[in-house]
Amino acid sequence: MSLFQAEEAASWLREWGIWAILISLLLSVLISVAGLIPSIFLTTANIMVFGVVPGFLLSWLGEVAGAAVSFWLYRKGLMSIRQRRGATRWQWTDRMNRAGTKRQFSIILLGRLAPIIPSGVVTFVSAACAVPFVTYLAASAIGKLPSIALETLIGHDLLYIQENGTRLLITFILIAAIIVLLRGKKL
C-alpha cells in the first residue's frame, strides 16, 4: 500500500459526504468478495476521513459485512456445484461437520487470527462445511478485530510517520518475527 493510494481513496470518500460511510462499507464487501485485494488502503482512508476510532469501527464493520456476504455467495455457489454434480457432500468437509458448533467456532476464530491463512480460505472452508451462519459470523467478527486494529495502527503511523516512525518500525519488526516464528513451527 502506498500512502498516495490511501490519500486518493480518502479524497474520493470525502467527496461523498455522509454517503462515504455506506460507500466504505460497500468497498469493504467488494474487497472481501474479491478475496485478493488488501484492505489496508481502505482502513487507512477510513481513519483519514473519519478519525482513528470511527475509522477502525467502520473498517471492522465493513470486514464483517464482507465476510457475511462472501460466506453467503460461496455457500450459494457451492450448493449449485453440488446440485449440478449430484454430490450431497464432500469427504474433506466431514471432520469439520462433525466438530460441533463450539469447535467450529474455535477453528474459524483461529483461522481468522492466524496471519498466514488468507481470509478467503477461512470463508470458503466455512461455507463448504455445515457451519451455521451465526457461528461463522461471530467467530469472524471477533477474529477480525486484531487484524483491523493492526491495519489501523500501521495506517495511522504511516500518516504520521514523523512522530510515529519508531513505533511503525517496531511494529514491522514484530510482525516479521511472528511470521518467522510461525513458519519455523511449520503450521
Decide: residue 99, CB within 10 A, 0-12 exposed, 13-18 middle, 19+ buried.
middle
Mean pLDDT in residue range 106-119: 85
Cell of 150: 493492526
Task: Identify each DSSP E strand in the chain by its residue range.
Answer: none
> For residue 114, what pLDDT is reported?
80
Cell 477480525 sits on residue: 144
8 Å CB contact between 74 and 127: yes
Please determine, for residue 186, whether its predicted confidence score (pLDDT) is greater than 60.
no
180: amino acid identity, one letter: V
41: amino acid identity, one letter: F
Each residue's pLDDT tens digit, 57-111:
999 999 999 999 999 999 998 877 766 666 556 666 777 888 889 999 999 999 9
Each residue's pLDDT tens digit, 34-61:
877 788 889 999 999 999 999 999 999 9
> For residue 143, what pLDDT is reported?
94
Each residue's pLDDT tens digit, 126-184:
998 889 999 999 999 999 999 899 888 888 888 778 887 888 888 888 878 877 776 77
> For residue 182, what pLDDT is reported?
67
8 Å CB contact between 55 and 46: yes
